[in-house]
Amino acid sequence: MKKYFALFLAALTLGVMFMIGASAVDTFTNPVANGADPFVFKDTDGTYYMYLTSGGAYGYRVYSSTNLVEWESQGYCLRRDDVYTDPEINKLNSETGATSAIYNFWAPEVYKEGDTYYMIYTAQEHLGIATSDSPLGPFKNDADSYLIPYTITGRNSEGTAISTQKCIDGHFYKDDDGTLYLYIVSCGAFSLNGDSIDHGNNIWGGPFDLETLTFASGYPKLLVEHDNKNEVTYPGWINTSSLSLIYPNRYDGSAVAEGPEMLKHNGKYYLTFSQDGYTSSQYSVFYVTADSPMGPFSSKKLAFITDDQLNEDTDNPHLYGAGHHSFTTSPDGSELIIVYHAHRSGTDPNETGGTVEERRICIDLAGFNDDGTFFAGRETKGHPTATAQVLPSGATLTRKQNLTGAFADIPSLPTVYVANKDGNDSAEGTKDAPLKTITAACAKLANGGTIIITQQYAASGETSADYIDIPAVNGPLMIKGEMSAVPFSFKFLSVNSDVYFDNISFWPGTLSNISVIECNFNNVVMGEGVSCIAQPTRKTFPVLVGGYWWSTNTSGVYTNFNYANNAAVTKDVDNTITVLSGTWSIATEKSVKSTAQIGTSAPSSTLVIGGDAKIRPAKMSAPNVIASADGAKLTFKSVANAPQYVIYKDGEVVGYTTETEYLDTTWTPGDAAVAYSVAGYVNGACIGDASDATTLDYSADIDSDGDVDIADVIAILGQVLNGTSDASLRDVLVVLKTTVK
């Protein structure tokens, strides 16, 4: 009996263990990233790319993910200098100082046909199409006009250029028969192909040819007009539109039908779109249906994801203004996923109305009910899910935190929250009452802990518009974005404690064309959730330094870093900088090395590169390479502020030098052809792109006649005599001996 009882207990224990294991599923909580107007493109290899209204006047940023939850910034995929924008609008706006309205890059979408990626983009409230051979860009458009013809009629009272036929929010849809359709949104008065409307944002569409980048004859046509004929299928949506029968042509913030996305289900076409102004708490996603991609569409607009404005769902915190969405599928393809932006107005998460400072990206389950109606929302159909939910089907979390060594105590230390726009340094530092600055957070974490950044963080919240100081505390710190890729803007960042960064996207400004993260004799980890966005006009990534770092009043990259008292860091203490992700301008695998000013320094400072971290070498002119008896001789021009250089042979590091010449002794005459390039270094680390490569001509066939002969010997000697080559006669003879046939 005891035997059977023991077996029963063992089976029971295994069952309990199985249930515990089965219940331990990965979850996430919205939002998952910062930005607005998200479009997610799932490429054939399963990688997701998210394009956002996120680059302001410079273009668009792109983010990548494998699970729809953990996003990494990949920098700018479209820059304004690479695409058409109207020069007359630029000129008019610049003359009156309306710089914020010069470009207005909004709501990009990407469609792939063959090996080409097409991005339809909005700039200056007009549409253009740019192409690339990669989802990461660069997307380029060499057209001399926008997609829809228009005229410039002058300026408004604020000095901004006015143009006719304004349109935004392009969306491509390919039907089962192979026909491609393009849907667009008109803004204000718009007339085309016999259709016209005099106010609001309204949806148009028609068949579209990618080869000619033109609509089929007679298109686009007006498909959906904004009105108040909404049939709300979920409780909590309140129609507060001020567009009324008294003012039928009035254009206010609610006269909106925008962000079109098309889906097909059981032979029926679902044209989905957002309605009301995006700053409104009732900005929501609706749909109409038809038996054709061109309609006619149902007159009633059905809401399928909208805010719970009546506060009926008290267990699901508010995400207001859920809209401007796109659709994709889960990693295993079994679920339809809606991606949208939302906001929380004001400092109170449950406060409605107010001005929207920041929009954030959310994802939810979407699908069709048995009766063919459409739904979105995993926890409560029709409402955004702001509580923890399971990952999309087939997704797994991939990022890790290595909280060992100096960071082992972080899980047991307190946590404070920081909201750089909505916080208050006199607050408690809780999620509901966040602080405003990292300085105040560190004051509450005297012995270390976690600082959770809930919204974009900028240097303006600190002592200077350029300088952020993370003060020393008596313990380790984790500075973590509440969601993926929370923007962290700075020009000079000084780190004075042991800090583990995670879920941060560094947005560097520049001082003297360089941005600095200074790690002062402490352990610093750039975790797997860290990324960097280059300056869009300079392609400059942050400089990462440790050990001795010299800031002088002389010219060059060391000037005006806004470092306290413009002083030098003079100690050499053990310090380790571990970089697991992101792209950096200055990073080296072994140590932070000397500067030209103070000679050999920081022998105890170590920089460890791992994970997906990337280094960008400096762009230099290609080196001159000649064959010699002792090896391959490289000479190259110096680059400003680079006291060191790194030499690449067939893309691999072969050595370093402080001179503008290098002898590669690993090469011997007669070796197979190799290509050499060079990059400039500061503190032993790269500061830009590597030079173009120079392939060594081992045959010494100077006149390229297919033979090495006396003519080549004379040519080489001529180069030596006129100073264009430093080859010696011995070098020439050795090379000829190994190559003359």
224 forms beta bridges with 203
**What does 514-558 look like in DSSP terms, one character per residue?**
B-EEEE-SS-EEE-TT-EE---TTT-PPPEEEESSB---SSSSTT
User: What is the value of pTM for the model shown?
Assistant: 0.78
Is residue 483 within 8 A of residue 33, CB to CB? The reply is yes
pLDDT tens, residue by residue, 433-479: 899 999 999 999 999 999 999 988 987 543 445 678 899 999 999 99
> What percentage of the chain has pLDDT greater than the value 90?
40
For the chain, the domains span 28-390, 405-615, 624-739
Q: What is the mean pLDDT of the chain?
A: 78
pLDDT tens, residue by residue, 251-305: 344 578 899 999 999 999 999 999 877 777 778 898 999 999 999 999 888 888 8
Q: For residue 16, what pLDDT is reported?
A: 40
Region 234-244: what's the mean pLDDT? Answer: 42
Q: For residue 292, what pLDDT is reported?
A: 97
Q: For residue 637, what pLDDT is reported?
A: 87
CA angle 116, 121, 122 (to 5 degrees): 170
**What does 369-429 look like in DSSP terms, one character per residue?**
-TTS-EEE-SSSTTS---S-EEPPTT----------GGGTTGGGS-EEEE-TTT--TTS--
Q: For residue 184, what pLDDT is reported?
A: 98
Q: Indicate the pLDDT class of residue 345, thresholds 50, 70 and 90.
A: low
CA angle 545, 550, 552 (to 5 degrees): 135
Three-state secondary structure call for residue 665:
coil
pLDDT tens, residue by residue, 703-732: 655 555 677 677 777 777 776 665 666 666
Rounded Cα–Cα distance for residues 611 and 401 (Å): 12
Structure token digits, residue 558:
């060391």
Higher pLDDT, 16 or 173: 173
Q: What number of other Cβ atoms are within 10 A of residue 13's Cβ?
A: 10
Position 739 pLDDT exceeds 70 = no
Q: Which residue has the tokens 């004075």?
A: 496
Higher pLDDT, 25 or 528: 528
Q: For residue 274, what pLDDT is reported?
A: 92
Q: Indicate the pLDDT class of residue 238, thresholds 50, 70 and 90.
A: very low
Q: Indicate the pLDDT class of residue 11, thresholds 50, 70 and 90.
A: very low
Superfamily of domain 28-390: Glycosyl hydrolase domain; family 43 (2.115.10.20)
Q: Lowest mean pLDDT: which of 78-82, 489-493, 670-674?
A: 670-674
Higher pLDDT, 215 or 666: 215
Position 248 pLDDT exceeds 60 = no
Position 161 pLDDT exceeds 80 = yes
Backbone angles phi, psi at 184, to 5 degrees: -135, 170
Position 234 pLDDT exceeds 60 = no
Superfamily of domain 624-739: Immunoglobulins (2.60.40.10)
Structure token digits, residue 479:
């500075």
Q: Indicate the pLDDT class of residue 486, thresholds 50, 70 and 90.
A: very high
Q: For residue 484, what pLDDT is reported?
A: 93
Region 683-698: what's the mean pLDDT? Answer: 62
Higher pLDDT, 713 or 489: 489
Q: For residue 163, what pLDDT is reported?
A: 92
413 CB burial (10 A radius; 0-12, 13-18, 19+): middle
Q: For residue 615, what pLDDT is reported?
A: 62
Handedness of CA 190, 196, 202, 204 (dihedral sign): negative
DSSP state at residue 433: S
Q: For residue 511, what pLDDT is reported?
A: 59
Rounded Cα–Cα distance for residues 404 and 269 (Å): 54
Region 382-395: what's the mean pLDDT? Answer: 90
Is residue 289 within 8 A of residue 304, CB to CB? The reply is no
